[in-house]
Amino acid sequence: MADTIISNHGSSEKGANPLPANSVIVVLGASGDLAKKKTFPALFGLYRYDLLPKNVKIVGYARSKIEEDDYKKRISAYIKVLDDKVKKQLEEFLSFNTYVSGQYDKDESFQVLTKHIEELEAGATEPHRLFYMALPPNVFTVVAQHLKRNSYPKNGGARIIIEKPFGHDLASSRELQTSLEPIWAEDEIFRIDHYLGKEMVKNILILRFGNEFLGASWNKNHISSVQITFKEPFGTEGRGGYFDQFGIIRDVMQNHLLQVLTMIAMERPVSFSAEDIRDEKVRVLRAMPIIDPKNVIIGQYDKSDDGTKPSYLDDETVPKDSRCATFAAIVTYIKNDRWDGVPFVLKAGKALDGAKVEVRVQFKDVTSGIFKDIPRNELVIRIQPSEAVYLKMNTKLPGLTTKTSVTELDLTYKNRFKDLHIPEAYESLILDAINGDHSNFVRDDELDASWKIFTPLLHYLDENTDIIPAKYPYGSRGPAFLDDFLASYGYVREQNGLYNWPHTSANGKL
């Protein structure tokens, strides 16, 4: 783009250490859903942009015995082949993918895997291996132990990518951590929270610290509240078995939304290095008191108003008397000079009225006097879908009038950055792990601090069987009292919901 001034402020992690040529990437749980939907499409994306190490080999490992052809079909299932060029690239990509089946708890199986890896490394003296654990939590530790014992190169090095859930409360997270600690060093572990790989989440620090006017107003003197919202338009629909053990708070709030909150609230890091960024994130978390149940509402979706969509309890994989929350709104505070008294509202739900993840920073009222009633400024950072940043602001309505109107400064990515590719979160994170850059991964003390904030609330909800989530219709905004709840923390809803962004014409088109 000719008119874009580009300067590069990438992480400069000390000791960042890219995987060398001839490395081997092993995807454990290669026949599962995560691998099929996210890991392999991301690896292929990196291959297309020539970002994998030269002469890399990728090995899938899982329990199922699958023929190589079926395996390759499986890992390509979610890769979009748009034209002949991509078709050819996919063939090339598949040519260096192989599969080994084996158990997760048997040394012999891992020895077979290691032998296969060594053959691919063809006598390399300092082999490097990246293990991606696309695995259910119950086999996490056992696989990490077996890998270290059987598949860790004697010279050279290894790194391991792990995915949530990292436990279900503070104690179980610490247990997991203690079981990994003696075998994998912290700098070998890459804990994924895929929200940290999303383009707009990675933009938050640039927006805040690269724009003086935003930096200057980013505090309790000017900001009234911050809301971080996650909406999904679908329920669990037959896949509630896993969800029911976790609920919405553990599923997306303690991790994804809290990560976004720390980026919004942290102080300016000394540099963009991984440790400087993560030090500041941990500092914010440590300034957050545990959540007071008085500042929480929970809900569970019911049938849609027209009866066509099922309730959560209609899902056959969910216990009939489940009290699991599929919606929650949680108000948290940060006890530091910058934020004391400002409510940070985390709001998340399944089976709501749309698909959206956004941060809404609502500013305080302007001084009254010359204005009788003028709406507040809001800065909205839309993480997905359709990345955008817009600032709702007041302007004089043009013409022979003194009326004001709400308008917006609008940075919609698809309009402003038409030709640029927005990578998938997993592409970006796997690339960071390949490059040895920890900036966008969760550090052990960060995980601990986040569980400390949420665990008392989670135990309170688990133990008090008389707390029943409020029902809300499938496809609605959430429980009926949500707006009153938000208003009680000073949030003024956009002109009672009348303001719409982006503006649409009568036929709904932009």
The residues of the shown chain that bind ligand BG6, judged by CB under 6 A, are 194, 232, 251-252, 357
For ligand BG6, the closer of residues 232 and 276 by Cβ is 232
C-alpha 246/C-alpha 165 separation (Å) is 9
For ligand BG6, the closer of residues 377 and 450 by Cβ is 450
State which residue has the least CB distance to ligand BG6.
251
Q: What are the beta bridge partners of residue 231?
A: 349, 356
Q: Residue 29: helix, strand or coil by DSSP? A: coil
C-alpha 156/C-alpha 469 separation (Å) is 52
Q: Residue 485: helix, strand or coil by DSSP? A: helix
For ligand BG6, the closer of residues 71 and 312 by Cβ is 312
Cα 419 to Cα 3, 410, 414, 415, distances in angstroms: 13, 18, 8, 9
| Active-site position among 116, 128, 168, 256 | 256
Torsion (CA) 255, 256, 257, 258 in degrees, nearest 10: 40
Rg (CA), the chain: 24
For ligand BG6, the closer of residues 39 and 224 by Cβ is 39
Residue 413 contacts residue 422 (beta carbons within 8 Å) = yes
Q: What are phi and psi of 224, to 5 degrees?
A: -90, -45
The minimum distance between CB 286 and ligand BG6, in angstroms, equals 24
Residue 327 contacts residue 249 (beta carbons within 8 Å) = no
For this structure, is 256 an active site residue?
yes
For ligand BG6, the closer of residues 134 and 334 by Cβ is 134
Residue 317 contacts residue 239 (beta carbons within 8 Å) = yes
Which region holds residue 243: left if phi is over 0, alpha if psi is between -120 and 50, else beta? Answer: alpha
For ligand BG6, the closer of residues 249 and 334 by Cβ is 249
Q: DSSP letters along 120-157, please? A: HHTT-SS-EEEEEE---HHHHHHHHHHHHHHHS-SSSE
The minimum distance between CB 194 and ligand BG6, in angstroms, equals 6
The minimum distance between CB 328 and ligand BG6, in angstroms, equals 13
Retrieve residue 93's tokens.
């990509």
Residue 300 contacts residue 324 (beta carbons within 8 Å) = yes
The minimum distance between CB 232 and ligand BG6, in angstroms, equals 6
For ligand BG6, the closer of residues 355 and 409 by Cβ is 355
The minimum distance between CB 151 and ligand BG6, in angstroms, equals 27
Torsion (CA) 62, 67, 69, 75 in degrees, nearest 10: -20
**For 270-305, b where at least 16 C-beta lie within 10 A, e where not — what string?**
eebbbebbbbbbbbbbbbbeebeeebbbbbbbbbbe
The minimum distance between CB 121 and ligand BG6, in angstroms, equals 33
The minimum distance between CB 384 and ligand BG6, in angstroms, equals 6
Query: Which positions are annotated as active-site residues?
Result: 256
